[in-house]
Structure 1
Amino acid sequence: MHLDPYADAVTAAPVRFLYRLNPLAKLLAPVPAMVLLVFVRDAATPLAFLLLSYAMLLIGVSFTRLLALVLLLALPLGALAIGLGFSLWIDPSRVDQSVVVWQLGSWTLYGGAVLVGLATGLRIAAIVGLALIAGLSTTGPDLVRATVQQLRVPYRIGYTALAAFRFVPRFGHELEVIRQAHRVRGAHGGRGPFAAVARWSGYIVPLLAGAIRHAERVALAMDARAFGAHPDRTERHIVPFRTRDVVFIVLFVAASGAIFWFWFPWGLG
């Protein structure tokens, strides 16, 4: 059964609210915050945006074990690792007035360097979290349809990109078929890095041949349906831009502005 997240609430099964928003609204709303986060230097501002993105994802998307693992472990640990890495590269003369955290011979790690590195890690994590709001609740086909319907991107370009997007899972399936064929014929090539390179070189030619055949079939099918012969086309799946999308953008930008109003002036130092 196909679930249309943009159908009316009376006829559609209950879905989280982010799935019901237009993809362009979810992409546009976090952009001002993501741009301005590049210029802040404190830790409080990116932390606030990271918490905001977590709250949006918590109430707006359906959680899986993998998503929970990414949000609760991978993203925080990645931010911590990036922060510690940056703290090791800070010029000690800039932070030598702060407390000493660790000293190894003539090398000293200052608390100021740790704070700068932590702020950098939080900044990157906040940008990733804001990007996940749209990334985890939007499909590639819906994004293409929205750009064609709302941004007036020529459907020849949009649906060509959609066809290319459909190639990705097909390539994965064909690659697995080629691997199985090589195993059956005993052409797996042994172990080690050189054997891996030899195996992948054997995959490339049949994979490219399959891609060319598939592209040819798609092109013939599009020509048979007179694709591109008319300036406009009738859409089967409508991705509307509604009042709720405007409200979401306004509220998100307002929340972002409030966060910057409280912390941005102190984040430039």
Structure 2
Amino acid sequence: MRFLYGLNPLAKFLAPAPAMVLLVFVRDVATPLAFLALAYVLVLVGVRFTARTAGILVGAIPGAVALIGIGFSLWTDAALVDGTAVVWRFGAWTMYSGAFAIGFSTALRLAAILSLALIAGLSTTGPDLVRAMVQQLRVPYRIGYTALAAFRFVPRFGHELEVIRQAHRVRGAHGGRGPFAAAARWAGYIVPLLAGAIRHAERVALAMDARAFGAHPDRTERHLVPWRARDAVFVVLFWAASAAIFWTFFPWGAA
């Protein structure tokens, strides 16, 4: 059932890419709602349902739609929508239904683009994406795996920062409250964090040299990420569904 994990990462990026680009230019509400529903169905069926997934789908995206929609409604120029129905009046300030339509169409458009990106984001790992780019797109492995090693520095920095903070806490260094104490604490983290980063970079460089990284134009992959027939079928079906949605609502005629 969780079929998205078995697809090639490039297929999961390629399938929603045209719809994500075209959604930038739509101005109605129905089209982004349709893509939002399509993305939700694919994520709920194809991705393992975890607390993080539930928080994104149930909390983060609807909350962002509400906040962005109300914000853009308040910022919409009333002169552009003064021919629509009045929702409420507050003194000299009037809220029109056209402002709500503009605000929430923009919010739903952003939410639909984000939801389509989650199809690949929630079911793809960094190493598999790099392997697919190297194997299918012929990206030089020197670039792909070097970028992957750089990205993996980020969680390493987080771990080392937590270790440094615990060590400072045990020693009672930079105690106290207030902005000056916080600035002193963060200044005390910089030097050991940089030293740890340099040590980690040296170890990574030595490990890559020991494996003759970059010595040959290509390398043997232990884990293959092939492009299968199901990947092509997924891309074609998604493109067909996207074309059907755009054909049905034809949002460019409603601008």
Please confirm whether the aligned pair reaches a TM-score higher than 0.5, indicating the same fold.
Answer: yes
Q: Given residue 73 of structure 1, which amino acid in structure 2 is its aligned partner?
A: G
Structure 1 position 267, deviation (Å) = 5.1
CA distance in 1, matches of 2:253, 2:167: 58
Q: Given residue 153 of structure 2, which amino acid in structure 1 is its aligned partner?
A: F
Q: CA RMSD in A?
A: 1.3
Q: Given residue 229 of structure 2, which amino acid in structure 1 is its aligned partner?
A: T
In the superposition, the TM-score normalised over structure 1's length comes to 0.91
Question: Structure 2 vs 1, CA of residues 267 and 131 (structure 1 numbering), >3 Å: closer, same or farther?
Answer: farther
Q: How does 1:112-151 map to 2 (within 5 A)?
A: 112-151=98-137
State the match for 1:68 in structure 2: 54
State the match for 1:223 in structure 2: 209
State the match for 1:95 in structure 2: 81
SS in structure 2 at match of 1:101: strand
CA distance in 1, matches of 2:253, 2:88: 26
In the superposition, the TM-score normalised over structure 2's length comes to 0.96
Which of 155, 180, 183 is equivalent to 2:169? 183
Q: Given residue 134 of structure 2, which amino acid in structure 1 is its aligned partner?
A: V
Could you list the structure 1 runs, at least 4 aligned residues long, displaced by more than 4 angstroms after superposition.
265-268
Q: Given residue 93 of structure 1, which amino acid in structure 2 is its aligned partner?
A: A
Gaps of 5+ in 1: 1-14
- Whether contact under 8 Å (2:28, 2:251) holds in the other structure is no
Structure 1 position 195, deviation (Å) = 2.3
State the match for 2:15 in structure 1: 29
Which of 93, 96, 110 is equivalent to 2:96? 110
State the match for 1:235 in structure 2: 221
- The count of aligned residue pairs is 255
SS in structure 2 at match of 1:231: coil
SS in structure 1 at match of 2:75: coil
Structure 1 position 179, deviation (Å) = 0.4
Whether 2:240 is the aligned partner of 1:258: answer no
Structure 1 position 236, deviation (Å) = 0.6
CA distance in 1, matches of 2:33, 2:8: 27
Q: Given residue 89 of structure 1, which amino acid in structure 2 is its aligned partner?
A: W
Gaps of 5+ in 2: none
- Whether contact under 8 Å (2:81, 2:96) holds in the other structure is yes
Which of 160, 167, 184 is equivalent to 1:198? 184
Q: Pick the structure with more helix per residue.
A: 2
CA distance in 2, matches of 1:200, 1:233: 42
